[in-house]
Amino acid sequence: MSYNSAIPQAASKRVISQKQIAANFTEIFAAFAKNHSPLGNTDLQGKHNILILRIQALDPATTSTQNAIYNKSVATFPSATLIPNLFFRPNNSQTPIQMTYPSIGTSSAPTYAANQYSFLAGPFVVYTGVLINPADGTVVNVLPATRLRYVGLGVQNFETGSAIVSTHAIPTAIAANSFTIRFQTSPGSKRNIYYLAIGN
């Protein structure tokens, strides 16, 4: 029997309504046990063990004493595919902050991949990687595609001939999800370029 909100009726006899009420309590218990520690567990009863948020069409309004955490679909860049993500809205209906990103990609530690990315609430995507012996003018494309806001480069093991020398590289032509590596001096025979980029 499924939950019945129409019982007991005022005219119902106890011998009939008792079974209906007991069935309702059974349904309530079963429904509550989904995503909660079940009733009867004296230490944890009523506490969530899973929280599933339905997709909101709009950002909820908040008062001066409220914050909101909610699920809303957002378009991924550069496509228009809608993907559900978590948002936080501060009190007084301030600007919502996206808390999650569609995906996170990393390589297995302790290796460094040419392209890695993670998420920073805002919504920002943080990319890191190492390029072995890139040429002057190498174009780096980071994925997933966002709009790059910052790119920093570090040079290690820079050699000209058999000597390790000090130099630096700079990112140029930063646009959309790509940047170009330019060297202060000739690229030399060996060089490792580590990069940190932030996009949103």
pLDDT, tens digit (0-9, with 9 covering 90-100), for 12-59: 887 778 888 888 888 888 888 888 888 877 788 888 888 888 998 899
Task: Specify whether 195 is located in the same domain as 130.
Answer: yes
| Identity of the residue numbered 30 | A
Chunked into runs of 10 residues, the chain (200 residues) has average pLDDT values of 78 82 88 83 82 89 95 76 87 88 64 71 84 88 87 78 67 92 72 88
Task: Specify whether 45 is located in the same domain as 65.
Answer: no
Check residue 37 and give its pLDDT.
Answer: 86
Check residue 107 and give its pLDDT.
Answer: 60
| Identity of the residue numbered 185 | T
179 to each of 22, 60, 142, 187, 196, how far by Cα in Å? 67, 38, 9, 17, 11
Task: Specify whether 192 is located in the same domain as 124.
Answer: yes
Domain finish residue from 68, 96, 124: 96
Task: Specify whether 151 is located in the same domain as 85.
Answer: no
Structural domain boundaries enclosing 149: 116-199
The answer to the question of residue 151 being in a domain is yes
Domain count for the chain: 3
Q: Cα(first)–Cα(last) distance of the chain, in Å?
A: 50
